[in-house]
Structure 1
Amino acid sequence: MDFITWTFSSGAPDLDKPLLIDPSDTTKSLSYNGLRSQVRRLLSGLQAVGVSPGDCVCVNSFNDVFYTTLYLGIIGSGAIFTAVNPSYTSQELIHHFRLTKPKILIVEPHLIGATLNAASDVAIPDSSIYLFDVVKENHNAGGQLNLQSWETLLTYGERDWIVPDAVTKTVAVYSQTSGTTGLPKAALIPHSYLVSQAALRLTGNSLPYTPRRLTALPPFHAFAAPILPSSIREGIVTYVMRRFDMRSFIEHTAQFEISETFLPPPVLVGLPLSPFSSKENLKTLRQILFGGASLRYSNQVPLYEILHSDASIQPVWGMTEIGWISAGVWPEKHVDDSVGRMLPGFEIKVLKGDGSTLAEEGESGDIFVRSPDMMLGYLDNEDATREAFDQDGWLRTGDVGRVTGEHKVFIDDRRKDLLKVRGWQVSPAEIEAILLQHPEIVDAGVIGVPLANGTGDLPRAYVVLQPESKLSPDEIKAFASASLAKYKVPEEIVFIDSIPRNPTGKILRRELREKAVASIGPEPSPISVQEGSARGPLKYIQIPPHNPIMGPKHM
């Protein structure tokens, strides 16, 4: 079944009640029937303005109730949906536009500046740019640009969505990913991938409570992909936050008696520390799923103390290229440091260091995964596609870990040169390429320094300067900020005489990590992170407990 047909194959009893709701303004909502009608109108409008099957439409916006209309309507028109992080700079947008070649851009007015700069660079005309003007406070942020509102696309009547002939081979989404290294790539995601992932979140009648969901996840993130389609199909009321804010999140949870939510690890650490948290406010939560980085069980214990007595905090492990691979299974209490059990339909093999021998049960090695519904490859990047898969179609995860007899997966290390920064994948090579554009920087190497609470990495750049350079750490950060989203900008700058490389020129990140370990000193408290002053000693700072993640102002 194609993704749109699957999503709108509902057995929900009341198709006209509010289904997707803005918790900050409950008058802003969509019912199942209202969403279905709006999707049919949007896809009709896209087709009317010349969008054909196989064309790409790109969205640049924070989350919104009507974002789901864009997502489903673009795919239903036969086009390929893609989206970008709202914190992206013009340079990052240019890379994505050149790669995906969008025919239409739909952008929130507040983000129009960087988008217009990038669109001009790749020759996307203003007539192909529509304002996603759904938020009152930035409704006029586009100024006197005379760009069309996205609502003009809803004025062409309704049409049925296009049903592809081969759902396993027809691309529905270009999903941005760093893969295992290098600049962001676009994973080719077919309809079957989206359907199989959303099906994992179907509850049927198995829960002893009525699920009510709250999400603040960026809708283009692979962790978020299954949530709303499964909610729509089952008629589960879901509240959609524009972006994460700790106080609002807690208030919404209490007000709307939320039972299920989906969060990145830093939020889980910060939630019990917030002055707004209490057992009274969070007593209805029964399931919290977290993904984007690992989190030790010991860091989950404080949160358990203020949740419902049978609540379960569950990990999710996966990749953009294949989706959720393993997760915790409710109502089982997750009390170890695994990333959950293998999900139905997934195969995992673990190879020893020689790359050809299967590891024994519980023995650590390189993890490969396979399922019937993976990405089809990387857009216009055959070399990266070949590197991602072995000869038998197994996907190289780049993770080192083990699988127990109970089908639980433990991640012990990473082979791939990727950082996990507040739930986002970050490529060191991308940061290095930007730093090397500065005329006073001779060489650079970037690593991630693990946060003490186990929620991800802190980006650190080792930098070699020209002999007479007086460049300061703040100047380097400012230079990087002009080209990189804030969460990618190195938080630590360490000056060094040379970057260790092997004879072929590859950075020896292991040696840089050893330098980092040597400079850290005694282990800090469980809720601190490392921050280094350039040419000076490292110190420790506390993680801000109230607004730890989600949205450029917190990145």
Structure 2
Amino acid sequence: MIFNSLFPDANIPNVDLATYVLEEGKRRFGQSKVSDNYALFDTQSNQSLTINQLDDQTRLLASGLYNKLGLRSNDTLLIHSPNSSNFVVTVLGTLKLGGIVTFANPAYNSRELAHQISDSKPSFIATCLDSLPTLFDAIKISGVEIPTARIFTIDSVETNLQGIRSISQVFGYEPFPRFSISNKQELVSKCAFLPYSSGTTGLAKGVVLSHQNIVSNIIQTNIYATLNNWHNDPSKIQRYIGVLPWYHIYGLVICLFSGLANGVGVVSMPKFQMQSFLKNVSIHKISIAHLVPPILINLVNDKTVENYDISSIKFFTTAAAPIGKELMLNLASKFKSIRVVKIYGVTESSPMISCAPYWNTEIESSGILTCNMQAKVIDEDGVELGIGQIGELLFKGPNIMVGYLNNPTSTAATIDADSFLHTGDIGYFDAYGNLFVVDRKKELIKYKGFQVPPAELEALLLGHPHVADAAVIGKYVENQATEVPKAFITLKKDLPPNTTVESASSSIKDWVDSQVSNHKKLRGGVHVIDVIPKSAAGKILRRVLRDNYNKDDSPASAAEGISNIKPKL
């Protein structure tokens, strides 16, 4: 059975992303009756940009990228930075030349960043002054040649480092060939963004998102914005708080670019900090707050909230990680005038697939399919299921990725012959079109919205001199509304004298945590077992670990509780 959107299909214009965002933004900002109507406000520099000023700055950067640095259409620029107005200028300036933007977490260490550099092979890099040592080390590890002259910083201050320009030093005034979409095929295939995702399994892969993918998803998001009256009244201030990282597809498309294209002022914050968040909500009269469950938990539990006026907020949106019924009820109880809107999507769908409309009373559902979307639910044998039947969720639409970068095998395993994306998520549709996501088939762990590939941590664990074998799963922590990575290992026999299970697991955990970003740390612990359960083909049976590990998290008892697990083949 195919499940269709309840909305009629929307027209997807034959236009490049930068043109769509800026021209739609100018049209919508032009309709506003609010005088203080900036498009972007940077909380670090306290500077604001109107939509026209943003267009002007992106034009200056595009000129400099083309005439000074040599960026050409289809060249890739890696941006390695927290949120800022210059982040937006860099992305749009690159798109105006037909360049491709790939996004890296600024918290990545050298090894993690090197993986993305070696895979995406960027010709240009935009970063921050503080990140330069990590970046240079990562470039060396990757083996990719990137001349210093093609690296620039996007901090608001100029750099004195020899050979490294600041963004203002890159700005130029000479003409450049403005990229535009010439035909439908180019709209569908021309890559705009290259975020990284692990998909259903394995190490992070480059997700090729076309101009059509992103333009489509802005339009698909706007269906709900209009339906739910997020910002339909031009006489009122309409503002988003850009606290979610823009290197993450949720923050990038649903907050930043959907906001700009809808004439909504976006307030940029480099990271979440409760008092700063509340202060900026109060000062800028934020109307929509795009958040994730861990932030929502903080808002429910932190009494600091009572010291600030956040009554301007009409909606919280939540995505990137599951949110439980209890948290939804607690939010409704504490913030009676704020409606919580659940969004479902994946990186490979640019990202929105479904959202809760205003009439939704099923708080455990993820809403209904957005326009131009179809869905299937299949069982383990690929048989299509019907209403109320639980299986893997598949989706099809103009927002579905082109594929994985230079990885036809993974692409073919994820997008089938009928162009349906296999998400690896488990769920069902009810008779009213409501989507319920109940579990994940895929192995990917999500810690506070950030993706943690088990394969990456397993590979790292196997590099430790005391580890013979390893498996990593996600453990859900109820009071934090997030999963945490949890490792199971077997130990080599030639351990140092007097080594105990407790000391080995503790030292191995500390060793891994010292080599990964904050969101990849083994917060669930490292637990020693006798054997890693695997199938006859050698695939780790993570379901066995999930079903059988001891709930007591002390290393010794956890090891005792799981040591006799027998693989179920």
Q: Tell me the alpha carbon deviations over residues 33-78 of structure 1, each in whole angstroms, 9 at most, x when there is no partner.
A: 1100011111111111211111100010011122111111111111
User: For the residues of structure 1 that align with 2:536 and 2:558, how far apart are their CA atoms?
Assistant: 31
Letter in 1 for 2:52: N
User: For the residues of structure 1 that align with 2:533 and 2:261, how far apart are their CA atoms?
Assistant: 53
Matched, 1:520 2:540: no
Answer with 426-435 or 296-305: which moved more. Answer: 296-305
Matched, 1:222 2:285: no
Matched, 1:502 2:535: yes
User: For the residues of structure 2 that align with 1:453 and 1:346, how far apart are their CA atoms?
Assistant: 34
2:326 alignment partner, one of 291, 295, 298: 298
Matched, 1:476 2:495: no
What's the TM-score, normalizing by structure 2? 0.86
Q: Tell me the alpha carbon deviations over residues 61-101 of structure 1, each in whole angstroms, 9 at most, x when there is no partner.
A: 01112211111111111110011011111111111111111
Matched, 1:73 2:90: no
Q: Tell me the alpha carbon deviations over residues 477-520 of structure 1, each in whole angstroms, 9 at most, x when there is no partner.
A: 3332354222112121101111111111111111111223xx22
2:268 alignment partner, one of 237, 240, 246: 240
Which position in structure 1 is the counterpart of 2:517? 485
Which position in structure 2 is the counterpart of 1:547? none
Which position in structure 2 is the counterpart of 1:264? 292
Larger proportion of helix: 2
2:403 alignment partner, SS class: coil
**Contact between 2:41 and 2:48, CA under 8 Å: does it hold in 1?**
yes
User: Structure 1 residue 325: deviation in Å?
Assistant: 0.4
User: For the residues of structure 1 that align with 2:377 and 2:96, how far apart are their CA atoms?
Assistant: 38
Letter in 2 for 1:386: A
CA separation of 1:250 and 1:52: change in aligned 2, threshold 3 A: same
Q: Tell me the alpha carbon deviations over residues 169-192 of structure 1, each in whole angstroms, 9 at most, x when there is no partner.
A: 111111111111111000111001
**Contact between 2:199 and 2:423, CA under 8 Å: does it hold in 1?**
no
Matched, 1:184 2:204: yes
**Contact between 2:216 and 2:398, CA under 8 Å: does it hold in 1?**
no
Which position in structure 2 is the counterpart of 1:433? 459
1:96 alignment partner, one of 98, 113, 116: 116
User: For the residues of structure 2 that align with 1:462 and 1:145, how far apart are their CA atoms?
Assistant: 47
What's the TM-score, normalizing by structure 1? 0.88
Which position in structure 2 is the counterpart of 1:43? 62
1:67 alignment partner, SS class: helix
2:530 alignment partner, SS class: coil
Letter in 2 for 1:199: I
Letter in 1 for 2:546: R
Which position in structure 2 is the counterpart of 1:548? none
User: For the residues of structure 1 that align with 2:415 and 2:44, how far apart are their CA atoms?
Assistant: 44
User: For the residues of structure 1 that align with 2:105 and 2:330, how far apart are their CA atoms?
Assistant: 31
2:363 alignment partner, SS class: coil
**Contact between 1:41 and 1:159, CA under 8 Å: does it hold in 2?**
no
Query: Identity percentage over the alignment?
Result: 28
1:22-37 counterparts in 2 under 5 A?
A: 22-23=42-43, 26=46, 28-37=47-56
User: For the residues of structure 1 that align with 2:308 and 2:514, how far apart are their CA atoms?
Assistant: 44
Matched residue pairs, number?
517
Matched, 1:164 2:185: no
**Contact between 1:201 and 1:226, CA under 8 Å: does it hold in 2?**
yes
User: Structure 1 residue 279: deviation in Å?
Assistant: 8.8
Q: Tell me the alpha carbon deviations over residues 261-280 of structure 1, each in whole angstroms, 9 at most, x when there is no partner.
A: 11111111111211211396
CA separation of 1:499 and 1:132: change in aligned 2, threshold 3 A: same
Which position in structure 2 is the counterpart of 1:127? 149
Q: Tell me the alpha carbon deviations over residues 340-360 of structure 1, each in whole angstroms, 9 at most, x when there is no partner.
A: 21111111111133312x212
Letter in 2 for 1:98: S
**Contact between 2:297 and 2:480, CA under 8 Å: does it hold in 1?**
no
User: For the residues of structure 2 that align with 1:325 and 1:211, how far apart are their CA atoms?
Assistant: 24
1:286-325 counterparts in 2 under 5 A?
A: 286-307=314-335, 309=337, 311-322=338-349, 323-325=351-353
User: For the residues of structure 2 that align with 1:411 and 1:390, how far apart are their CA atoms?
Assistant: 21
Letter in 2 for 1:119: I
**Contact between 2:201 and 2:444, CA under 8 Å: does it hold in 1?**
yes
Matched, 1:396 2:422: yes
CA separation of 1:201 and 1:412: change in aligned 2, threshold 3 A: closer
Which position in structure 2 is the counterpart of 1:8? 22
Letter in 2 for 1:105: I
1:414-453 counterparts in 2 under 5 A?
A: 414-453=440-479
Which position in structure 2 is the counterpart of 1:151? 168
User: For the residues of structure 2 that align with 1:150 and 1:25, how far apart are their CA atoms?
Assistant: 14
Letter in 2 for 1:520: K
**Contact between 1:119 and 1:125, CA under 8 Å: does it hold in 2?**
no
Letter in 2 for 1:239: V
User: Structure 1 residue 443: deviation in Å?
Assistant: 0.4
**Contact between 1:431 and 1:489, CA under 8 Å: does it hold in 2?**
no
How large is the RMSD of aligned CA atoms in angstroms?
2.2
Which position in structure 2 is the counterpart of 1:528? none
Q: Tell me the alpha carbon deviations over residues 223-268 of structure 1, each in whole angstroms, 9 at most, x when there is no partner.
A: 1223222322232122111111112111221222211011111111
Structure 2: any 5+ residue segments left out of the alignment?
A: 1-14, 560-569
User: For the residues of structure 2 that align with 1:16 and 1:45, how far apart are their CA atoms?
Assistant: 30
User: For the residues of structure 2 that align with 1:386 and 1:533, how far apart are their CA atoms?
Assistant: 42
1:18 alignment partner, SS class: coil
1:187 alignment partner, SS class: strand
1:534 alignment partner, one of 552, 555, 561: 555
User: For the residues of structure 1 that align with 2:378 and 2:213, how far apart are their CA atoms?
Assistant: 26
CA separation of 1:286 and 1:99: change in aligned 2, threshold 3 A: same
Which position in structure 2 is the counterpart of 1:511? 544
Which position in structure 1 is the counterpart of 2:105? 85
User: Structure 1 residue 533: deviation in Å?
Assistant: 3.8
Letter in 2 for 1:433: A
User: Structure 1 residue 16: deviation in Å?
Assistant: 9.0
User: For the residues of structure 2 that align with 1:477 and 1:414, how far apart are their CA atoms?
Assistant: 26
User: Structure 1 residue 339: deviation in Å?
Assistant: 1.4
User: For the residues of structure 2 that align with 1:344 and 1:72, how far apart are their CA atoms?
Assistant: 26
CA separation of 1:228 and 1:148: change in aligned 2, threshold 3 A: same
User: Structure 1 residue 125: deviation in Å?
Assistant: 2.6
Which position in structure 1 is the counterpart of 2:240? 213
1:276 alignment partner, SS class: helix
User: For the residues of structure 2 that align with 1:458 and 1:446, how far apart are their CA atoms?
Assistant: 10
User: For the residues of structure 1 that align with 2:367 and 2:453, how far apart are their CA atoms?
Assistant: 26
CA separation of 1:281 and 1:474: change in aligned 2, threshold 3 A: farther
**Contact between 1:312 and 1:332, CA under 8 Å: does it hold in 2?**
no
Letter in 2 for 1:133: D
